[in-house]
Structure 1
């Protein structure tokens, strides 16, 4: 703890020495609240991660990829809000807008990818359980405030309101207001990206809804940047005395800020929408494969059941025995035709080389069966008709038309009747 305190003092003291003479600096150094918040978040994440590891859930709840994303988010947030680089935003309006965009479009998504709220919940598990019991009546209000529509309104509302000249100038003059501004940006952005990239489960928006969720936010959030870029006069007087040091007039600095909000910010939303559309297409392809596999499985089971049905029905057993000889049929030629046509790709057929298919039912005892496909009585004429055009007899069944001629069907039927 002592080392962390010394480190915090160093972070605060060095920028004060380096930027002590920077004109127009509102707060005279690096924001102490940012360093304190980052240390607190890092501590909570570490405690939560330790508890997850003790429970043996590392890799399932939070893994290396999530921990890496969290560390990246922590470092990026430090650079944006608590490093000497962040002090440039005190002098240039354009740098300040870049800081806000980075906080909302880079830092917050990295913390979402790192599952920071999950780790923090594990760190505060006893407190969370107590609040769950004591604040039960407020859960309905919390759910109302965290619906996708409510989160979208918070996100766009905070981004737009804090860039009104009056509130923006107040944030520059007051350290507490500045802390509130950055906190509202980050929290609303964390909620926004949590909705956009939440794990797919029942009750969440689909990928199409999420793409619309992000795209609509991109359109609305681009309006403040556009208005700032085309404004005919400077709107933020606090930066008027500091921009000349960097070779910019106040109006040029403001126009640059508007373009930063408009173009790079818009590109970040476009990338997010493209990622969501790609995930949507992948999910649709995966669902289509599952449906196709399920349909094929059901069809094969149905065909197996119908072809194997009434296998040993006694009333027709004597009639089948007399039908075993097909007039004009040559079983040897039939076996050759079966191999040439490729019937063995779907059926297991004794006596035919390579005929070990598992799609359709095995034909090892078709000569004794009562019905063909559960529809036709097992007679030579019916079997030949089925071989020539199964789709005509049972439209939509699994067996395709193989282009078998009348002569070929006669020889194939003769061979099949030898399988008893």
Structure 2
């Protein structure tokens, strides 16, 4: 426990320093630093990274997985705690890019890296005991049910895109924070189920079900993006109300670009997710195959 004190104190000092500069000397902040500093986002990122690097000593990971994890973390940070956040509050299509990164790209890369054991190994004992408590496991089992995971994944996208809710969320700082946290957490929960590399016994879901989950979210998102892209009136009045960052892009053009972002990148990522699920299934079959005992190795169809 004593060994954790320097790290906690260091993170607390940096948090206070960044908060002070952001509030009293904002012009000192470079473009990659927080535009509107959030201690909660910083603490979440800082503790996760600290536990991750500490855990690498006990549960090593390959260089590729480490890079995927760090890119995923950096992507979420970039859209939430840099000057990009200001732009995302003044253009609808940039706001959609922000949400795709928060809900899809960042969580997808983190889940693909599968860092959970490493992060847990780096946690202090009391935190690890809370994370591994049976009540926490019960909560995770609930959200890992395919129908629940899909419902929350698609439901939250639709909720925050419903024009009346979107308008209130963008003008209400508390609701805006809830919106962003819900997107990141839900994205991590969903992709952690779909990209779980373990077999059905440990994961709780078959590879076929994970493939269905990845494909099943494509069509509702395409429909939602198409509705927005082909709307012939401005349905997101907040951006006209607050002033668009690029006056040359009118409301309808902004909306069509945003609809395209809702439509195309998530569908492409779902296809990539399906490929990852099939690859995980192949690797699990190779691991469990017992040539000579009646097992069938996948080497015959992979060429290896």
| TM-score, with structure 1 as normaliser | 0.58
Q: How far did residue 267 of structure 1 move?
A: 1.3
**SS of residue paired to 1:240:** helix
Whether the aligned pair in 2 keeps the contact of 1:15 and 1:83 (CA below 8 Å) is no
Alignment root-mean-square deviation, CA? 3.2
**SS of residue paired to 2:196:** coil
Q: How far did residue 113 of structure 1 move?
A: 3.6
**SS of residue paired to 1:246:** coil
Q: How far did residue 270 of structure 1 move?
A: 1.6
Q: Which runs of 5+ in 2 are unaligned?
A: 1-9, 296-304
For 1:214, the equivalent position in structure 2 comes to 214
Aligned equivalent of 1:5, options 12, 16, 37: 16
1:7–1:137 Cα change, 3 Å: closer
Q: How far did residue 104 of structure 1 move?
A: 1.4
| In 2: Cα distance, 1:16 partner to 1:210 partner | 46
Q: How far did residue 10 of structure 1 move?
A: 4.3
Q: How far did residue 63 of structure 1 move?
A: 5.1
| TM-score, with structure 2 as normaliser | 0.78
Aligned equivalent of 2:142, options 116, 141, 144: 144
1:117–1:125 Cα change, 3 Å: farther
1:281–1:263 Cα change, 3 Å: same
1:144–1:75 Cα change, 3 Å: closer
2:38 aligned with 1:37: no
Larger Rg: 1
For 1:87, the equivalent position in structure 2 comes to 86
| In 2: Cα distance, 1:157 partner to 1:107 partner | 19
Q: Please list every run of at least 4 consecutive aligned residues from structure 1 whose deviation after the TM superposition is greater than 6 angstroms.
A: 15-19
> What does 1:367-378 align with in structure 2 at a 5 Å threshold?
none
For 1:46, the equivalent position in structure 2 comes to 50
1:87–1:46 Cα change, 3 Å: same
| In 1: Cα distance, 2:27 partner to 2:273 partner | 35
For 1:125, the equivalent position in structure 2 comes to 125
For 1:275, the equivalent position in structure 2 comes to 276
Whether the aligned pair in 2 keeps the contact of 1:45 and 1:116 (CA below 8 Å) is no
Deviation string 1:58-78 (CA, Å, 9 cap, x unpaired) is 31xx45444333322222122
Aligned equivalent of 1:178, options 176, 179, 182: 176
More helix by share: 2
Q: How far did residue 36 of structure 1 move?
A: 3.6
Paired residues, number: 277
| In 2: Cα distance, 1:229 partner to 1:219 partner | 15
Q: Which runs of 5+ in 1 are unaligned?
A: 20-28, 297-420
